[in-house]
Amino acid sequence: MITGFAMFAMLFGAGNVIFPLILGRDSGHQLVWGLLGFCLTAVLVPLLGLVAVMLHHGDYKYLLAPLGKIPAFLLILLCMVLIGPFGLIPRCVTISYAVSKMYVPSLSLFGFSLLCAVIMFCCTMKNSFVIDLLGKILGPLKIILLFTIMIKGLFAPAEFLPVSLTRLESFNEGFFSGYGTCDLLGTIFLSSLILSGLKKGLHPEQQADSRAIIKHGLQASAIGGGLLSLVYAGFCIVAAFHGAALATVERADIFSALSILVLGKEGGFLANITVAVACLTTAIALTAMFGMYLHKDFLGGRLPYLPSLIITIAITTGMATLGFGGIMKALSPLISVIYPFLIFYILVNIGIKLWKIKRHRPVSLTMVPESSDWEG
């Protein structure tokens, strides 16, 4: 249960707040098809990524080894950069700032980024503390706050607006919006944190049993994936109810606008706390992961963990000054190429492990969408 909550807390960050709301607003009466596509790439695919890593001894480097030493190293480096201080971590900071600035208008984005940097450093100084912090404290707190907003919003139903999208177009919109969450990268490269949390909860004789680890990993995945699906569905529906009022709202501000519509000004303050907690928990997990990668893998232990952590947070603070739109413009083209390749790759490797399919070096057979609304 703790690891399932921790998985949810790790994965549910800035993109997981914004993209379901945009999808719900834009899908209107075709909401079901958009939500189906979104859950495929934002829930099922990330969980398959975790399964693939668990089948490869919980080591993403072993999973990617068949690509070859240099290609695997470059792919890992690129993915780490995307989900680390050049992409997802500063995106979490900018969304937290967007929902907080209405209450502290004098606080600049740079000042807010510095405040977040201090919080992230304090929470990640001890790497072993991250899972307990996420699973026992921040994860349950996030769930309580998110479900409060959803339930309140669902008590004021309205008609879904008719839209020009067909069912297939709505499905495609949701499918490609799921890329923007980057949760597949999260489950692959946060697998060590997830598995360490699982092993702590097992009896000593089970900790070396790969079957027991996979069994409990699937159970934790079902909890984390179920919570993600419920939140996505709730957010999409509530945003669809208020599609007309949200039509002209900027992407980074959509949650703040919705929270005021649903909860009023006082309740909106609670909503802002919710998003701040959601983004902060994901940023903490990603900061710990990238700091350890920089310390252990990229620099081979030549730089201690704490200086690696400081470098990670310093880059994050600088990138956050670009704002949500600037970060997404840099991320979108890379994600559109990497995501389809990784989906194909993990499916091939799961097939190799479970059904003894003859190993071939996977080739990227992908098509990048000409236009998708999640892109900056």
- Give a yes or no: residue 371 inside a domain: no
- Give a yes or no: residue 367 inside a domain: no
Examine the pLDDT at 143 and tell me if it is beyond 90.
no
Q: Which of 114-118, 127-131, 282-286 has the highest mean pLDDT?
A: 114-118
The Cα angle at residue 325 between residues 319 and 326, in degrees rounded to 5: 40
- Give a yes or no: residue 143 inside a domain: yes
pLDDT of residue 368: 44
Q: Calculate the CA dihedral of residues 287, 38, 237, 164 and round it to 10 degrees.
A: 130
pLDDT of residue 336: 85
DSSP code of 136? I
Higher pLDDT, 140 or 178: 178
Q: Is this prediction's pTM over 0.75?
A: yes
Question: Cα separations (Å) of 228 from 20, 38, 51, 276, 371?
Answer: 11, 11, 17, 17, 26
Q: Which of 187-196, 245-254, 301-310 has the highest mean pLDDT?
A: 301-310
- Give a yes or no: residue 14 inside a domain: yes
Examine the pLDDT at 53 and tell me if it is beyond 70.
yes
Examine the pLDDT at 148 and tell me if it is beyond 90.
no
- Average the pLDDT over each of 45-49, 201-205, 292-296, 338-342 and give the range with the smallest value: 201-205
Answer yes or no: are the C-beta atoms of 77 and 64 closer than 8 Å.
Answer: no
* pLDDT (mean) for 26-32: 86
Q: Where are the alpha helices (DSSP H) in the chain?
A: 2-11, 14-27, 31-39, 45-55, 60-64, 69-83, 88-100, 109-124, 130-132, 139-154, 167-177, 183-189, 191-200, 210-241, 254-292, 305-320, 323-355
Backbone φ and ψ of 57, nearest 5°: 65, 25
**What CATH number is associated with residue 135?**
1.20.1740.10
- Give a yes or no: residue 368 inside a domain: no
Examine the pLDDT at 83 and tell me if it is beyond 80.
yes
* Percentage of the chain modeled with pLDDT above 90: 10
Residue among 209, 276, 281, 227 nearest 1 (CA): 227
Residue span of the structural domain in which 164 resides: 2-355
Q: Which residue has the tokens 């807010």?
A: 112
* pLDDT (mean) for 172-192: 84
The answer to whether the Cα torsion of 285, 364, 37, 213 is positive or negative is negative
Residue among 177, 190, 216 nearest 8 (CA): 190
Q: How many domains does the chain have?
A: 1
- Give a yes or no: residue 362 inside a domain: no
pLDDT of residue 289: 82
Examine the pLDDT at 363 and tell me if it is beyond 50.
no
* pLDDT (mean) for 191-197: 69
- Give a yes or no: residue 185 inside a domain: yes
- Give a yes or no: residue 365 inside a domain: no
pLDDT of residue 180: 85
pLDDT tens digits along 256-281 = 788 777 777 776 777 777 777 777 77
